[in-house]
Amino acid sequence: MNESKLVYECMQILGKHGAIFRTNAGQFYTKSGQTVSGLPKGFTDLLFIRRDGIACFIECKTGKNKTSPAQEHFIKRMQTLGCIARTAYTAEQAAQLCGIIIN
């Protein structure tokens, strides 16, 4: 499974239990070549807001892929702010990290 498919699966599961957002960090280019800045480098793949208002930041990885130093820094920063922030290797793990019980 590739990371895009994992992100999609996480969105499908988490979307039933709160608000889920797919995020894009870094710089992007419009069709005309204009540079647009997105979210900060290291921002997680997903931002999930639970029904109780708790923010969960999920970085999706597959196989032996690891988080980058910028991603690790972002995750630690969000944790210090009281958010749930972790790396998930499966959609079920992402749900569990967010405190969602899947039957």
Number of domains comprising the chain: 1
Q: Classify residue 35: in a domain, yes or no.
A: no
Between CA 81 and CA 84, with CA 82 as vertex, the angle to 5 degrees is 115
Q: Classify residue 65: in a domain, yes or no.
A: yes
Give 60's strand partners: 88
Q: Per-residue confidence at 22, pLDDT binned at 50, 70, 90? A: very high
User: In terms of residue numbers, what domain contains 65?
Assistant: 3-25+40-97
pLDDT in tens, 7-20: 999 999 999 999 99
Please give the structure tokens belonging to residue 88. 């998930």
Q: Per-residue confidence at 37, pLDDT binned at 50, 70, 90? A: confident
Q: Classify residue 33: in a domain, yes or no.
A: no
Q: Between 55 and 29, whose confidence is greater? A: 55
What CATH number is attached to the domain comprising 69? 3.40.1350.10
